[in-house]
């Protein structure tokens, strides 16, 4: 399908000096599509260009020029028809041009035929299969859930048959609680002890009193007390409400990941919008999974794992429709399971970054972390290929693969 170019544009193009554009240089191969938003084949090109722009961010530049709205920008390319796609290599040299609609696979095949390697940059993405430095922390100082250091003032212990699970805080306990399947909640809670804030001794969780406050970021702070009077005394110097275990539980379980159903604090979570509803993903990858779980288009508002800068992703029919900034990338934290297979390292080890430099800095501070850099499109694709059964088991302890 082809649409003749408007006469005025053609005429002025004829007069244009050759090579006016050639001075511009670029380090990446570049695809320029010249069209108009009202031409039908051009409209068909639009989603393809979007996919290429986001899916090949950092590997290829994709530019759309509307030659009806902006004839001046189209002139240097001396096109005869719209849409026209022009392929420039990394040195800015025109290698090929195509007139009319051109499919995504055909575009990628053409780059390959031209000998332009679009995988090169992605292949050099960060991969860390072995830790830069071993994690030398003692096992009983590490939170079973988040892998963070356990604060002895807020430690929670869950007694198991063979071993006990240590958690850094009541919040991590409720994340754990929302990640277990097939256990009777009451029986589970009977196994839990919390650290008494005053004496640092362990006390049964269900009969303790909790001073529930808030830090400067809006995250709840939870202090446990075996003795209610001690809690009342602490409340005088440290504001908060005294609540029972039941109230604490209902507050902690109120906000959930819309993909894996884990308890989240909204302050830590990734925002997800689906239809008119706002929800949370407990991590960036879970947020993408909401599109798979609900079968809906979603908008994700993530924060750069290092700087907190916003990263916005919109999906359309299970694919990326837009990514801001286009340079944003994902880190897929992985571990080798006992059989040597790479598996997800869990929600606490995932993240999005506005660029590779930020990811590298984040990794530099986490020498024990292993995994690989992937595209945001890949993070979505990984979730879209899950079956409903796999989604139901996602992030559940012992079930997540
Ligand atoms: Zn923790
Ligand atoms: Zn989740």
pLDDT, residue 122, reads 45
Q: Which helix (H) or strand (E) holds 273?
A: strand 270-274
Question: Can you spell out the DSSP letters for 301-316?
Answer: EEEBTTT--EEEEEEE
Q: Which ligand is nearest to the CA of 142?
A: 1
User: Ligand 1 centre from 159 Cα, in Å?
Assistant: 16
pLDDT, residue 183, reads 76
Q: Which helix (H) or strand (E) holds 329?
A: strand 329-336
168 is catalytic: no
pLDDT, residue 23, reads 36
Q: Which ligand is nearest to the CA of 141?
A: 1
Please tell me the distance from the alpha carbon of residue 290 to that of residue 274, in angstroms, as a whole number.
Answer: 8
* Adjacent-strand bridge partners of 165: 158
Please tell me the distance from the alpha carbon of residue 121 to that of residue 28, in angstroms, as a whole number.
Answer: 9
User: Ligand 2 centre from 300 Cα, in Å?
Assistant: 13
42 is catalytic: yes
Lowest mean pLDDT among 9-23, 85-99, 242-256: 9-23
Please tell me the distance from the alpha carbon of residue 67 to that of residue 53, in angstroms, as a whole number.
Answer: 20
Q: Which ligand is nearest to the CA of 264?
A: 2
User: Ligand 2 centre from 393 Cα, in Å?
Assistant: 11
Please tell me the distance from the alpha carbon of residue 258 to that of residue 3, in angstroms, as a whole number.
Answer: 45
CA distances from 158 to 124, 168, 221, 224, 252 (A): 43, 11, 20, 15, 17
User: Ligand 1 centre from 195 Cα, in Å?
Assistant: 14
pLDDT, residue 119, reads 62
User: In angstroms, how far is CA 285 from the centroid of its own chain?
Assistant: 4
Residue 311 in this model has a pLDDT that exceeds 60? yes
pLDDT, residue 26, reads 46
**Pairwise pLDDT comparison (129 vs 22), residue with the higher score:** 129
**Of residues 42, 257, 283, 347, which has the active-site annotation?**
42
User: Ligand 1 centre from 171 Cα, in Å?
Assistant: 7
Q: Provide the 8-state DSSP code for 256.
A: B
**Residue 219: strand, helix, or coil:** coil
**Pairwise pLDDT comparison (322 vs 398), residue with the higher score:** 322
Give percent of the chain above pLDDT 70: 91
Select the highest-mean-pLDDT range: 22-26, 43-47, 165-169: 165-169
Average pLDDT over residues 212-219: 94
Q: Which ligand is nearest to the CA of 395?
A: 2
pLDDT, residue 2, reads 61
Please tell me the distance from the alpha carbon of residue 248 to that of residue 194, in angstroms, as a whole number.
Answer: 13
CA distances from 331 to 109, 353, 372, 393 (A): 28, 8, 6, 22
Confidence of residue 56 (pLDDT cuts 50, 70, 90): confident
Q: Which ligand is nearest to the CA of 284?
A: 2
Neighbours of ion ligand 1 (CB under 5 A): 143, 145-146, 148, 168, 172
pLDDT, residue 5, reads 55
Confidence of residue 156 (pLDDT cuts 50, 70, 90): very high
Lowest mean pLDDT among 122-136, 157-171, 254-268, 327-341: 122-136
Confidence of residue 1 (pLDDT cuts 50, 70, 90): low
User: Ligand 2 centre from 260 Cα, in Å?
Assistant: 4
As a whole number, the mean pLDDT across the chain is 89
User: Ligand 1 centre from 170 Cα, in Å?
Assistant: 9
User: Ligand 2 centre from 16 Cα, in Å?
Assistant: 56
Q: Diameter of the chain by CA atoms?
A: 89
**Of residues 39, 143, 286, 395, which has the active-site annotation?**
39
Lowest mean pLDDT among 31-40, 73-82, 103-112, 187-196: 103-112
Confidence of residue 149 (pLDDT cuts 50, 70, 90): very high
pLDDT, residue 16, reads 39
Please tell me the distance from the alpha carbon of residue 13 to that of residue 345, in angstroms, as a whole number.
Answer: 56
Q: Are 57 and 328 in contact (CB under 8 A)?
A: yes
Please tell me the distance from the alpha carbon of residue 190 to that of residue 307, in angstroms, as a whole number.
Answer: 40
Please tell me the distance from the alpha carbon of residue 110 to that of residue 372, in angstroms, as a whole number.
Answer: 29
pLDDT, residue 20, reads 37
Sheet strands (E) in 75-208: 81-82, 84-88, 94-99, 127-128, 156-159, 164-167, 192-195, 202-204
Average pLDDT over residues 332-341: 92
User: Ligand 1 centre from 224 Cα, in Å?
Assistant: 16
Residue 21 in this model has a pLDDT that exceeds 60? no
Phi, psi for residue 137 in degrees, rounded to 5: -65, 150
């Amino acid at each position: 399908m082809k649409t003749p170019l408007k006469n005025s544009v053609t005429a002025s193009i004829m007069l244009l000096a050759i090579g006016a554009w050639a001075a511009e240089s670029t380090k990446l191969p570049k695809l320029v599509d010249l069209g108009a938003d009202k031409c039908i084949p051009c409209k068909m090109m639009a989603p393809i260009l979007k996919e290429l722009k986001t899916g090949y961010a950092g590997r290829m530049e994709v530019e759309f020029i509307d030659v009806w709205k902006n004839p001046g920008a189209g002139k240097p390319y001396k096109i005869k028809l719209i849409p026209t796609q022009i392929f420039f290599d990394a040195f800015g040299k025109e290698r090929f041009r195509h007139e009319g609609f051109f499919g995504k696979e055909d575009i990628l095949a053409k780059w390959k035929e031209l000998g332009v390697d679009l995988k090169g940059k992605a292949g050099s993405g960060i991969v860390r299969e072995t830790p830069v430095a071993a994690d030398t922390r003692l096992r009983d100082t590490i939170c079973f859930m988040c892998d963070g250091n356990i604060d002895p003032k807020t430690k929670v212990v869950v007694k198991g048959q063979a071993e006990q699970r240590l958690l850094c805080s009541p919040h991590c306990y409720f994340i754990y609680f929302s990640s277990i399947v097939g256990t009777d909640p009451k029986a589970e809670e009977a196994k839990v002890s919390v650290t008494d804030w005053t004496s640092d001794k362990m006390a049964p969780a269900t009969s303790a009193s909790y001073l529930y406050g808030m830090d400067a970021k809006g995250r709840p702070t939870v202090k446990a007390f075996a003795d209610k009077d001690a809690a009342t005394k602490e409340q005088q110097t440290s504001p908060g409400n005294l609540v029972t275990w039941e109230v604490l539980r209902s507050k902690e379980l109120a906000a959930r990941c819309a993909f894996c159903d884990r308890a989240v604090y909204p302050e830590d979570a990734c925002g997800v919008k689906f239809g008119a509803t706002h929800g949370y993903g407990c991590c960036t990858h879970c947020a993408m999974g909401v599109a798979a779980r609900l079968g809906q288009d979603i908008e994700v508002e993530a924060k750069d794992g290092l700087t907190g800068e916003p990263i916005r992703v919109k999906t359309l029919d299970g694919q990326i429709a837009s990514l801001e900034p286009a340079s944003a990338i994902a880190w897929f934290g992985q571990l080798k399971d006992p059989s040597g297979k790479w598996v997800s390292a869990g929600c606490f080890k995932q993240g999005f970054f506005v660029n590779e430099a930020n990811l590298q800095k984040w990794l530099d501070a986490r020498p024990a972390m292993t995994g690989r850099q992937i595209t945001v499109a890949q993070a979505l694709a990984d979730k879209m290929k899950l079956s409903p059964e796999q989604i139901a088991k996602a992030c559940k302890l012992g079930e997540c693969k």
